[in-house]
Structure 1
């Protein structure tokens, strides 16, 4: 059964399986993983999950799980700070073998609901110019293209999704 759950140490081995598909590095969008995190060791994994829980007032992290298998991650940043200006309010990633099944759109729809519950009027989403699948997912949920911005990682497309109609 497909679920969107809070990060948990109980899925360490399942998360490592997903991480292995991406290869070495901290590039899984939506997981809040940084180069300083040691997700391999049980103690490091617990510290990383603990940090994600500690950050829950600023960022909602969720894992996309099916039958105890980690399929992806998604993060909702609650404020448009400097980092969110660069990375967007919402970032998501799906493990390579789970792509093409609509999981990103499913999870993004639920995070848009969460953003609305938090009182957010609109959210920014950013993806690499060559990431056609992410752009298609964003557009399918109401994303409006703002433009292309140059970043340290290369050109990125910016999209806005309006969650509520502006009041007059």
Structure 2
């Protein structure tokens, strides 16, 4: 069973290992904006990131909306971080256009096992409990993300060209 846990020092090394599996690719859903992996590997850098996440959970910081990040773990291997998922409590103009409420990333070695689907369902429950009635999830032209979004009840609203010129698919999930 998949569980979402708050970021913490005991799983710091496991989180770093999950990020390093991406081998420099974009860390969607990891909420590392403004931090490099090498900086996050250092205790002081990790503590700065952790404090930012705690504050971000309660209020907007540094131009970002309030948000919560969780690490995805499997009860069978609670010491291994499988990925990360990020719930933005509200949308600004950019998030409405191409970012959405939720971002997630699953380490390459854990893909294809339903990890993203299970984590997304858990975050949708938390969004509902927060009073969010409709959730926007966006993805690039990615078959696995598309299947996850559709499997969670997402309805495709449109496909747009993003800031970087790539294709952005926008899915709404009604939580009412």
1:63 to 55, 71, 75: 71
1:20 CA displacement? 1.1
Give, in whole Å, the separation in 2 of the partners of 1:16 and 1:2: 19
Superposed, 1:125-164 pairs within 5 Å as 125-129=137-141, 131-153=142-164, 154-164=166-176
Give, in whole Å, the separation in 2 of the partners of 1:42 and 1:123: 34
Q: How many corresponding residue pairs?
A: 162
Give, in whole Å, the separation in 2 of the partners of 1:91 and 1:42: 25
* Contact in 1 for aligned 2:160/2:169 (Cα 8 Å): yes
Superposed, 1:31-46 pairs within 5 Å as 31-37=30-36, 38-46=39-47
- Specify the SS of the correspondent of 1:91: strand
Give, in whole Å, the separation in 2 of the partners of 1:35 and 1:79: 20
TM-score (norm 2): 0.87
Gaps of 5+ in 1: none
Give, in whole Å, the separation in 1 of the partners of 2:27 and 2:127: 21
Task: Name the stretch that deviates more: 32-41 or 133-142.
Answer: 32-41
1:65 CA displacement? 1.5
Q: Who is 2:62 aligned against? A: none
The RMSD of aligned alpha carbons is 1.4
Give, in whole Å, the separation in 1 of the partners of 2:45 and 2:23: 18
Residue-by-residue CA offset, 1:23-56 (whole Å, 9 max, x unaligned) = 126x221121114452121110111111111111
2:95 to 84, 91, 107: 84
